[in-house]
Structure 1
Amino acid sequence: MSALTFELWDSIDAVDGPAWDQLCQPAENLFMQRSLLGAIERSLSDDAQFWYVLFRDQDQRPVCAAAFSAYTLDISLLAEGFSAKVAQQVAKVAPGLLQLKVIFLGMPVSAGQNHICFAVDADRAAILKQLDELLVSKAREVKAECILAKEFSEAELPLMQPLLDCGYRLADSLPMNHMQPEHADFDGFLASLKSDTRGKLRKSIKKIKKNQLRFEYYRGTEAAERMTDEVYQLYRNVLDRAKIQLERLPKSFFLEMLQGLPDNMEVIFLYEEDRVLAFGACLFTDSVFVPIYLGVDYENNSKYDLYFNMLFETADRALKQGARDIVLGQSADDVKHFKLRSYQQPLYLYSKGISLSARLAMSCCFSLLFPKRALRFPRMSTEPAAAD
């Protein structure tokens, strides 16, 4: 086994920055940027604990960096179908049973990404064995029920395979929606559609022009100044309608992200005169564009097709920036598929019970806790007619 050592910090500001950046290549690996991790840490410090670990080989060369966190989940917000019905009944009798403290290998933010990176020639089996021991130790220290390592694409599973030898089980996460970057802008995308499909999308777009609504784009301090309490409530509106909720982010999250990532985050605001009716917060690098959160005034949604038009404008910004990967999130699958011809790619997580109750639950009810999630819109099927 390789002679590994590691350093552990409880603040991203304390890590060995040059070593972290050398390994993580933050210009492309946006979700391992120290500025992004710091924004998450500062805005969620009242609800979560954070740690950052850097492994070195026998030559003291950085070979793995990872961020992990402790967070209390409300299981009822994650449940679907039959599980949701059970959770509703439990909530009436003993709501405390639905509060589950978890150690995430990752951050308590649901963007469909992971927060671990390896050197190309790293001894992943040895690293993951030591990392598991560290995660288990922290879980026991903070009295967490289980460990969840999230989220990994199919291509990344071989990197994490050694976790299975450490007692973890592989489970499906929600699939991720992607849009094909085949056009220079949204007009080019529209031109590629059949006439009846194109007409349906343009009908929504005309509601913006006819009513003299306008899109504006801001970054950094300028965007933060426009993130008022009223605008933040638009995000809460969308969250309240979401089928599955991992986290409820405070307003400070958006402010911290905007201040910390002035070159990698943009907010698209949709205005009616001086009032914001919708907004979309987007992260990006030269190659990837990730709309992370949306806010909508649902009282005016049907009048202006706000949700649809925010999707269209977001797609236009991504295409114009030349993104090679447009990541559309893990919700509203039908809308994104039928409006933007998006396709889905599977994502996975690894779970391990720590407490006796968690181990028993995973042993007896694993398929109920982590149901299989078949892809409804795989990549081969990207050209349906748009939905009404």
Structure 2
Amino acid sequence: MSRRYLLSAQHEFSGQIVRDFAIVYDDGEPVAAIATQTFDVIGTQLSGNQSAATNNLPEQWKRKSLSLLKRRIMICGNVHTWGPHGVAIAAGRDQQQIWLGIAECLYRIRRANRLHGQVDYVIVKDLLESDPLDASALESFRYGSMETEPNMVLSIDPNWQVMDDYLASLTKRYRAAARKVRKPFDCDTLSVSPIENLRDESERILELYKAVAARADVCLFELSNTTLPRIAESLNDDFVTIGIRENGLLIGFVTIIRDGETAIGFYLGMDYEANSRLPVYHALLLAVIEQAIRWRCKRISFGRTALDAKSRLGCKPEATHVWVRHRVPLLNFVVQQIMKTVNHDEPPERNPFKDAS
């Protein structure tokens, strides 16, 4: 929610996403900041290549039926990634009261953008259990809450000064697994190091990112080759990209953002053929941990994918919620009933540390 971060991507997808920013005031004093993205979603964006629901349909029917499904969505947050990217509330304020103002503000933004199209859904995402953003006041505005896949969080022991300290804290089994991941990269043909200039390698980075995005169940908007360089230039020392190379060729990367005392494992891309031969993905996860220790962060937010792999690193699940409202009151009831039936994956319970109780 920092100004420099929002500015870094403000002009991305300008023809597809309408971005709005607002401040909520209480008696002339700013108490909350809001960032929204409004866009159209077509059915073809919601169905991956491997969707069982459409694989048996003739291709022409599939494209026609999905193209007829169109909805306009306003997200208070960021459609490109997870996390509380939509709301920031001043400390020490009455949150319940401020959320009433936030709801009113979202309504005004939606009404002001009617020329772009009627918004069908308003979604507030993603509110994390550790954040003091109690949005229960939204219920009075007919928003419904839904728990999604958890955010995987690794708490960093203040005694970890270097990566070897983290490895030493693991039990023998998990320490051996981590060292097995790192071992192939101790050679002349492979390297793990920061990428200094993202613009110079933007095309290759985008290619690796798209390889990962293509496997996602839903990817509404892919990044462009300017997105990550802009963020890197805007955040400066609070943004790092770690690259893995084989004979000089980039075969994987991960971006990391320092947000206060939290390191965020952000965008990731890799060559899946290389990953079938080398533990590229797992090496990138370990690179995030090493960078977070170097930054002296207190925690790492790894997001809500690959739950099992991240639990093996010592990550614990953090409950994550979204709040959804449909513009038609009757459909709000239907949406809320559907949300009650939505299931999501849970990570296995695992503690790889020696001091596990």
TM-score (norm 1): 0.79
- Provide the residue aligned with 2:245 in structure 1: 271
- Provide the residue aligned with 1:170 in structure 2: 145
Q: Which one is further off, 107-116 or 228-237?
A: 107-116
1:223, CA displacement in angstroms?
A: 2.4
Q: Which one is further off, 344-353 or 90-99?
A: 90-99
Distance in structure 1 (CA, Å) of the matches to 2:123 and 2:87: 13
Unaligned residue ranges in structure 1 (runs of 5+): 1-31
Pick aligned residue for 1:207 from 166, 172, 184: 184
Query: Between Structure 1 and Structure 2, how many residues are aligned?
Result: 343
Q: Would you say 1:362 and 2:339 are equivalent positions?
A: no
Q: Secondary structure at the match of 2:85?
A: coil
Q: Secondary structure at the match of 2:296?
A: coil
Pick aligned residue for 2:73 from 99, 102, 112: 102
1:283–1:243 CA distance, 2 compared to 1 (3 A): same
Does the CA contact (< 8 Å) of 1:289 and 1:318 recur in 2?
Answer: yes
1:49, CA displacement in angstroms?
A: 0.4
1:201-224 per-position Cα deviation (integer Å, ceiling 9, x unaligned):
222211111353112214xxx422
**Letter of the 2:30 counterpart:** P
1:353-372 per-position Cα deviation (integer Å, ceiling 9, x unaligned):
1258964752663345xx13
1:106, CA displacement in angstroms?
A: 1.6
1:322, CA displacement in angstroms?
A: 1.1
Spell out the pairing of 1:257-268 with structure 2 (5 A cutoff).
257-268=231-242
Pick aligned residue for 1:307 from 281, 289, 292: 281
**Letter of the 1:180 counterpart:** S
- Provide the residue aligned with 1:22 in structure 2: none
- Provide the residue aligned with 2:38 in structure 1: 70
Q: Secondary structure at the match of 1:202?
A: helix
Spell out the pairing of 1:92-131 with structure 2 (5 A cutoff).
92-119=63-90, 120-122=92-94, 123-131=97-105
Q: Secondary structure at the match of 2:9?
A: helix
1:342–1:163 CA distance, 2 compared to 1 (3 A): same
**Letter of the 1:372 counterpart:** N
**Letter of the 1:117 counterpart:** A
Q: Would you say 1:44 and 2:13 are equivalent positions?
A: yes
**Letter of the 2:193 counterpart:** E
**Letter of the 1:217 counterpart:** P
Q: Secondary structure at the match of 1:67?
A: strand
1:335, CA displacement in angstroms?
A: 1.2
**Letter of the 2:326 counterpart:** G
**Letter of the 1:69 counterpart:** Q
1:189-210 per-position Cα deviation (integer Å, ceiling 9, x unaligned):
2222232332222222111113
Does the CA contact (< 8 Å) of 1:72 and 1:101 recur in 2?
Answer: yes
Q: Would you say 1:181 and 2:156 are equivalent positions?
A: yes
1:276, CA displacement in angstroms?
A: 1.0
Spell out the pairing of 1:146-295 with structure 2 (5 A cutoff).
146-156=121-131, 159-182=134-157, 183-210=160-187, 212-218=189-195, 222-295=196-269
Spell out the pairing of 1:135-154 with structure 2 (5 A cutoff).
135-138=109-112, 140-141=114-115, 142-154=117-129
1:68-121 per-position Cα deviation (integer Å, ceiling 9, x unaligned):
1102335566579xxx54466684551124443200112322132232122332
**Letter of the 1:68 counterpart:** T
1:336, CA displacement in angstroms?
A: 1.3
Superposed CA RMSD: 2.9
Distance in structure 2 (CA, Å) of the matches to 1:74 and 1:332: 27
1:136, CA displacement in angstroms?
A: 4.1
Q: Which one is further off, 206-215 or 250-259?
A: 206-215
1:178, CA displacement in angstroms?
A: 0.9
Distance in structure 1 (CA, Å) of the matches to 2:237 and 2:76: 27
Does the CA contact (< 8 Å) of 1:343 and 1:377 recur in 2?
Answer: no
Query: Comparing both structures, which one devotes a greater share of its residues to helix?
Result: 1
1:154–1:170 CA distance, 2 compared to 1 (3 A): same
Does the CA contact (< 8 Å) of 2:174 and 2:352 recur in 1?
Answer: no
1:327, CA displacement in angstroms?
A: 0.6
**Letter of the 2:40 counterpart:** T
Q: Secondary structure at the match of 1:170?
A: strand
